[in-house]
């Protein structure tokens, strides 16, 4: 069974990461790490979710089942080892702070350690870098990681998708991320 890791770091639009988890549930053995800043960001964008019952509320809101949630501050979790065999690592959304740490090889939490593992093992990694505009420093960091095989895929819409509402736009973005990971889906209408 395919092992997939979804990291959600502290950037706006964390909902995209949770929706990605929802659509991945039946695609393999799914692991997830959520940074503290992502939790804070999401609660500020969604008043019905509080930090106190965050995980239970997220599981209920997005109907998440069979996802193995790991603690970001536990660097000894299974995904910290290349021998565990994660095939694809998503960091969606990816904060600029997380991007910078990965680019510099800093492994001070489980998200950055799992990214370092994906790099050293030459596994597929997709970063949904969430920032606009990008600074020259961030562009250099993304270029550096791209040369290492990392796929930089910011959550950007395409006009040809002819999305009619925000939900369709979210499905399009998540569908593009799934395409990059060679995961079949029917989240958006293909170009014809």
Residue boundaries of the structural domains of the chain? 3-180
What φ, ψ does residue 129 adopt, rounded to 5°?
-65, 125
Find how far residue 101's CA is from the centre of its chain: 15
Query: Cβ distance 40 to 72 under 8 Å?
Result: no
Instruction: Provide mean pLDDT across the span 115-143.
Output: 98
Tell me the pLDDT band of 10, cut-offs 50, 70 and 90. confident
> Which CATH topology does 3-180 take?
Rossmann fold (3.40.50)
Residue 20: Cβ within 10 Å count: 27
Alpha-carbon dihedral angle through residues 85, 112, 59, 76, given to the nearest 10 degrees: 60
Tell me the pLDDT band of 162, cut-offs 50, 70 and 90. confident
Predicted TM-score (pTM) of this structure = 0.95
Q: What is the pLDDT of residues 64-101, one digit of tens each?
A: 999 999 999 999 999 999 999 999 999 999 999 999 99
């Amino acid at each position: 069974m395919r092992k997939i890791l979804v990291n959600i770091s502290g950037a706006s639009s964390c909902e995209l990461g949770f929706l990605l988890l929802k659509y991945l549930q039946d695609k393999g053995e799914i692991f997830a790490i959520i940074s503290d800043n992502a939790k804070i960001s999401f609660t500020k964008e969604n008043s019905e979710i509080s930090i106190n019952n965050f995980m239970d509320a997220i599981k209920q809101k997005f109907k998440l089942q069979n996802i193995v949630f790991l603690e970001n501050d536990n660097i000894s979790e299974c995904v910290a080892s290349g021998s565990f065999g994660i095939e694809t690592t998503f960091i969606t959304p990816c904060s600029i702070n997380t991007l910078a740490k990965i680019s510099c090889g800093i492994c001070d939490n489980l998200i950055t350690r799992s990214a370092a593992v994906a790099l050293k093992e030459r596994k597929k990694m997709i970063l949904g870098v969430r920032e606009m505009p990008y600074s020259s420093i961030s562009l250099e960091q993304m270029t550096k990681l791209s040369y290492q095989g990392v796929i930089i895929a910011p959550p950007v819409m395409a006009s040809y998708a002819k999305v009619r509402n925000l939900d369709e736009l979210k499905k399009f973005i998540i569908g593009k991320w799934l395409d990059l990971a060679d995961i079949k889906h029917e989240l958006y209408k293909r170009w014809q």
